[in-house]
Structure 1
Amino acid sequence: MLLVVLNQIDRLDPRAAKECLTDLRALLEREGLGAVPVLGLSARTGVGVAELRGELARRVAARRAATDRLTADVRAVAAELAAHCPEDGPAALGRRDRGDLLGDLGDAFAAAAGVPAVVAAVERSTLRDGVARTGWPLIRWTRKLRADPLARLHLGDERSRTSLPPAGAVELAGVSTAVRRARDTMAEGLPQSWRDDLRRTVEVSETRLADRLDRAVAGTDLGPARVPLWQRGVGGLQWLLALTALVGALWLLALVVLGLFQLDDVVPLPRVEGVPLPTLLVVGGLLAGVLLALVSRPLVGLRARRRGRVVDRRLRSAVEAVAEEEVLAPMAAVRADAARFRTAVQRARR
């Protein structure tokens, strides 16, 4: 509350001093400060000094009493709130522990998001294309009669849903177990109120998991489907062997036609170790093509498995990002809030 003091009042006679105080009071009333005390003071003569000291002492005592009451109220509330924060506070979660939690969540979320199905489809698609390129050229068109297993999943656009089957009971149970394990780890050292807050936070996050995981899988770049040079070379060699067999077959057909007209003696028939050259071309081209396809098949399978591992790492990285954003980050925020709450309560108690 304000206090107006008119100093050096000893320079005025009593009548002038009274009029001056009256004018000062009227001025304060016009300004809306009519309740403010007005005190005349003279430091030289001591007039009003005792009243000023008394007023100051009263106001200081009142302010101190209000501060003491407020401090006591704050300490009382802090003592009640101390029941909701541990004495030592929640220990900091180490990088290794956080990495283990992220790994467990990533495995469970990957199974629920259909990552194994996508990896298997990538391997089958790569194997299908590789076998078609390294197989016998004349039957390659039969591969096109079967749909590409990877194309049927409708991946590559995170704005649309995939054709992956929904997670089953086993996968959903695995997600619940991993989330509960992460929540229990994050709740270590926290009182029950903060544990309940963690549970509510995770429940809110789980409602968005299915859609987020599907969009994460759909939007993951599976890498370029490049054709290896060795497959191109094997494909070219297969065409050469097929052309060789075709030349031999046409040669044999020409010999049959000449035989019908009894002209087979006119054209000499070259032989290799007693075997007619056209027959050798047909049989050799066909057998070499089959052998080349059989030798290339394990290499194609090896490349399919290697690409599957690359896709698996990319998909798991995307799934772990969802786990970090939807589960670990909200729980870490609750844990940080608990630490700040404990610090504030301790400061209030002091």
Structure 2
Amino acid sequence: MTTTTPPRAGLAPRLSALSKVVELGPGRLDQKLLTDAGALLMRAGDRLKLSSEHTVVALAGGTGSGKSSLFNAISGLELSPTGVRRPTTARTHACVWGLEGSAPLLDWLQIQWRHRFSRASALDKGDSQLHGLILLDLPDHDSIRALTDTEADRLIGLADLVVWVLDPQKYADASTHRRYVTELAGHDAVTVFALNQADKLSAAELAELVIDLNDLLRREGVEHPSVVPTSAVTGRGVESLKSVIATAVGRRRAAIQKLEADLQRLEQRLGEAMPLGESLLAPSSVDEARRMGLTDALCDAIGVPAVGEAMENVYAERSSRWVGWPYPRWFAKFRPDPLKSLRLDDVSDEIRGITTGSVSAQSAEVANAVQALADGLSAGMDPVWRTAVHQAARSNARQLPKALTEDLSEVAPRLDQVPGWWRLLKVWQYLLVVAFVAGVVWLVAGLTVPAQLPAALQLVGDGAALPWVALMMASVLGLGALSGIASRNFVELGASRERERLEREMRRRVAAVSATMVVEPVERELGRHHAFYTALRDLSG
């Protein structure tokens, strides 16, 4: 008999997506949902590795439903004990049509060796359409024995196709519908309902029960219920049920359909817990505009513009001690100093404070900047993920102000150093001062010293040279004043450039610290969010 390998296209990518959801879900999804998803992945992995030539069909039902009798009727052998004991079936019995390759699957199902039965080839001549069937007679699901009840639940979840054996008295039993039937939405293709003991009903009563059961199942979410009336006593409907089972066995797709149905059910639960909505539109990384916005906010929190302005003022104040025409500076000592009214000494202390690391970033303003970034990035996210993004942004909240302060202290200006051209200009200006003083001495000497001088000093006493000396002195004063004005202009230009350099370097360092301590943790969470919702989308196929 030629069989085809069940197509698995579409199932593998969805299982891979579910694996990603399970990987990224801890802390975001309910633990029960994650546990169920992990169990489904394990079950799917195990089942897909086992025989695809066999279809596991489980007969499930409550005590007295005639499940074991129906099992014997389908198999044609008295394999499972029947009677009125509660529970009648204490252990699962299995009948295999086509034993080759079934052992690993039966081991996975945990069917005891003494409860495994194989149809001999001589007996299979009329049931060749069932080749590949593993028929299970499960313990009663409403058993008073907890052990058998648990085994029934386990095998109902592992079976490729479940045949629910219902009896006319308890077909609408609330416990059965609450525990099992309501969980069958989407499992229509791998679920059959056998309304057994039909021999106890008249034709009219049976027709009415079938209609009632169909309506009940549809209300429970089974869109297209497959109901087969049977009687293990008279054999009525047994062949019909065998035909339904044979169709599933022949297609070799029940295992895939069961996993797809389980996956669909889990997908619905995930969708209810974490709706897709517009979540895929959320950013997966921090864009450049938000990075710059964070850097700007942190620079304001640290006071970078104020530090730059203070540095520029201090630069100008310190230059007055080195450059400029000395005479005005000396005369200024005898009148109130306007620089003190600007409190430049305090500004200088502030700059020194940064140098020694005593100035701290404002924690509250830093926190506000981080909060604003997280708010903008998490808008529209599920509350769980929004909280996660905020936690990631604040993951280094305690260390961030200190890290910013320590890093910026490395770029604070050195107040014990001055530009070399300041020193050269100071030498030049004092040379002019010496020249002017020499001119004054010359002029005084020319006016007071007698004309009868030694030949070597006659030039000093020469009255004709005095105008030239006065002109030289005026030139020295003018040159000194011009060099003072020029030096002040150069100082202002240098101060502006130094301020730009300092602010640029401080901004660069603020951006680097924020990238490491804020942006990177946030991007990891955004990447996790994007991967999670991408996996949810892929899970739906």
The answer to whether the superposition gives a TM-score over 0.5 is: yes
- Counterpart of 1:239 in structure 2 is 430
Q: 1:265 to 1:49 in 2, by over 3 A?
A: farther
How has the CA–CA distance of structure 1 residues 59 and 315 changed in structure 2, closer, same or farther, with 3 Å as cutoff? farther
Q: Does 2:249 correspond to 1:153?
A: no
After TM superposition, give the deviation of residue 270 of structure 1 in Å: 4.4
For residues 477 and 293 of structure 2, the distance between their equivalents in structure 1, rounded to whole angstroms, comes to 52
- Give 1:64's aligned residue: 160
Question: Does the residue aligned with 2:133 lie in a helix, a strand or coil?
Answer: helix
CA distance in 2, matches of 1:237, 1:132: 14
- Is residue 280–residue 533 contact of structure 2 (8 Å, CA) maintained in 1? no
Match for residue 86 of structure 1 among 276, 284, 306: 276
CA drift at 1:275? 3.2
Deviation at 1:322, TM superposition (A): 2.4
TM-score, structure 2 normalization: 0.44
Residue 294 of structure 1 pairs with residue 489 of structure 2: no
Instruction: Give the superposed CA RMSD.
Output: 4.7
SS in structure 2 of the partner of residue 205 of structure 1: coil
Q: Matched residues in 2 for 1:81 and 1:337: separation?
A: 17
Shift of 1:276: 6.7
Aligned residue pairs, count: 298
**Residues 46 and 90 of structure 1, relative CA distance in 2, 3 Å threshold:** closer
Which residue pairs with 1:337 in the alignment? 528
Equivalent residue letter for 2:279: G
Equivalent in 289, 292, 295 of residue 103 of structure 1: 292
- What secondary structure, in the 3-state scheme, does the structure 2 residue paired with 1:58 have? strand
* Counterpart position of 2:362: 167
Give the whole-Å Cα distance in 2 for the aligned partners of 1:200 and 1:342.
19
One-letter identity of the residue aligned with 2:287: R
Q: Say whether the 8 Å CA contact 1:86–1:190 is kept in structure 2.
A: no
Q: 1:199: which partner in 2?
A: 390
Q: Which amino acid aligns with 1:179?
A: V
Tell me the equivalent position of 1:119: 308
Question: C-alpha offsets along residues 190-219 of structure 1, whole Å, 9 cap, x if unaligned?
Answer: 222211222222333333321121122123
Which of 295-304 and 323-332 deviates more?
323-332
CA contact 1:134–1:293 (8 Å) conserved in 2 = yes
- Please report how far the alpha carbon of residue 312 of structure 1 lies from its aligned counterpart in structure 2 after TM superposition: 0.9
Alignment of 1:1-350 (within 5 A): 36=113, 57-58=133-134, 63-65=159-161, 72-83=261-272, 84-91=274-281, 93=283, 98-136=287-325, 152-155=352-355, 162-164=357-359, 167=362, 172-173=364-365, 175-220=366-411, 227=419, 234-251=425-442, 263=450, 265-266=452-453, 267-268=457-458, 269-270=461-462, 275=467, 277=469, 281=472, 284-350=475-541
CA shift in 2, pair 1:75/1:219, >3 Å: farther
CA contact (8 A) 1:202 1:327 kept: yes
SS, match of residue 164 in structure 1: coil
- How far did residue 65 of structure 1 move? 4.4
Cross-structure match for 1:14: none
1:147-183 deviations in Å (ceiling 9; x for gaps)? 965861353xxxxx61325538xxx45x455434322
Kept after mapping to 2: 8 A contact 1:127/1:301: yes
Q: Cα distance, 1:252 vs. partner? A: 5.5
Amino acid at match of 2:359: L
1:60-105, Cα deviation, whole Å (9 max, x unpaired): 996524966665554434323224242453326499x822222221
For residue 275 of structure 1, give the secondary structure of its aligned residue in structure 2.
Answer: helix
Q: Provide the C-alpha distance between the structure 1 equivalents of 2:304 and 2:463, rounded to a whole number of angstroms.
A: 58
Q: Return the letter of the residue paired with 1:89.
A: S
Q: Structure 1's 234 and 325: CA in aligned 2 closer, same or farther, altered over 3 A?
A: same
Comparing both chains, which one has the higher relative contact order based on Cα–Cα distances under 8 Å and sequence gaps of 6 or more? 1
Matches of 1:270 and 1:180, distance apart in 2: 84
Quote how far apart the aligned CAs of 1:115 are. Answer: 1.5
Query: In 2 relative to 1, CA 81–319 (structure 1 residues): closer, same or farther, beyond 3 Å?
Result: same
Structure 2: distance between partners of 1:201 and 1:272: 88
CA contact (8 A) 1:270 1:276 kept: no
Kept in 2, the 8 Å contact 1:115–1:315? The answer is: yes
- Unaligned 5+ segments in structure 1 are 3-34, 156-160
**Distance in structure 2 (CA, Å) of the matches to 1:221 and 1:312:** 10
Letter in 2 for 1:126: Y
Give yes or no for contact 1:245–1:284 (8 Å, CA) kept in 2: no
Q: 1:48–1:272: structure 2 CA closer, same or farther, 3 Å change rule?
A: farther
> What's 2:27 paired with?
none
